[in-house]
Amino acid sequence: MRMNIYCVALCLILFFCACAKKDDDVLRLGYLQSDLHHLPAFVALEKGYFAQQGLKVQVGGVFKAGPEEMSAFGSGDLDFGYVGQAPATAALLNGAADIQFIAQVNLEGSAIVARTGSGIDSVKGLAGRLVAFPGHATIQDFLLRRALKNSMMGFQDIRAIVLKPPEMLQALEQKNIDAFIAWQPYPAQALQSAAAQVVLYSDEIWKEHPCCVLIASRSLCETRPQTVKKIQAAHAQACAFIADHPGDAAAIGVKYTSMNRAVVEQALKHCIYTSRLDKAKAREFVGFLKELRYVKPAGVDQRFSKAFFE
């Protein structure tokens, strides 16, 4: 009888060990909530591109902001994810998360918009006005400062306030702010509501600038490089689908953002989806982070040079 109990217990242990090993094959994916820049992630999930590559992928987290997602990488809760290049770079260079860049996700796709009736029709019109941006060390922070510099102005010439993009439209409509800079689809949403007019699209500030990236934990890159290559292949397939089937891609965007079709289609006109990383532009952004002391200077160049999965 005792031997039977031992046999049953041993079988149970082996069963649970087998299940744990099976779970190790599941890749945990993260992305940002209602972020149209992450459309390739939505397409890859909807069209089954990860599964076609033989990958088992589950959504490990949907986040409201890039720093939140990077914290999940820092705690080891995600294997790969779609996130802004800015929070990913800052987390990497500050030692908050050990990740590698494995693909670009999109270029451009941001805009400065001003409240209808504000009288702001140029960057110079932002002088002395209350302007919202998503946060320090973001791509939009860089774009705003660059737009001001191009107009012979400085950051000190505006009244800047940090707001999360989902809160910006309401603040604009209630006249709590005069303008904002954000990523799509929030500028398109403001335009569709007639609450705002475009001051400048981001391609007019920094043409083909990087915005979001696909990243993976360094552990995944080092221990399962072939898996990472399959993730890259699924992502490239998703980018190609968006280019070849814009109508179907827009429908997927509507599903994942819960925004109306007109907003999504307007937003997609200003986003370029690509898998090709531009190291030169990425290095330029690192220079901006260093200049404003958003990252610790020691070892920055060395960590950056090792950040790209080859």
Domains annotated on the chain, with CATH:
31-107+210-305 (3.40.190.10), 110-204 (3.40.190.10)
Q: Residue 126: what residue type?
A: L
Q: Residue 268: what residue type?
A: L
> How large is the average pLDDT for residues 256-266?
94
pLDDT at 149 exceeding the cut of 90: yes
Kindly report the pTM of this predicted structure.
Answer: 0.87
Residue 10 — pLDDT band, cuts 50, 70, 90? Answer: very low
> How large is the average pLDDT for residues 174-178?
97
Residue 292 — pLDDT band, cuts 50, 70, 90? Answer: confident
Residue 22 — pLDDT band, cuts 50, 70, 90? Answer: very low
Higher pLDDT: 36 or 15? It is 36
Rounded-to-integer distance, Cα 157 and Cα 222, Å: 47
Range in 119-133, 143-157, 261-275, 289-303 the model is least confident about: 289-303
Say if residues 180 and 133 touch (Cβ distance below 8 Å): yes
- What share of the chain in percent tops pLDDT 70? 93
Question: 173 CB contacts (<8 Å, ≥6 apart)?
Answer: 193, 195
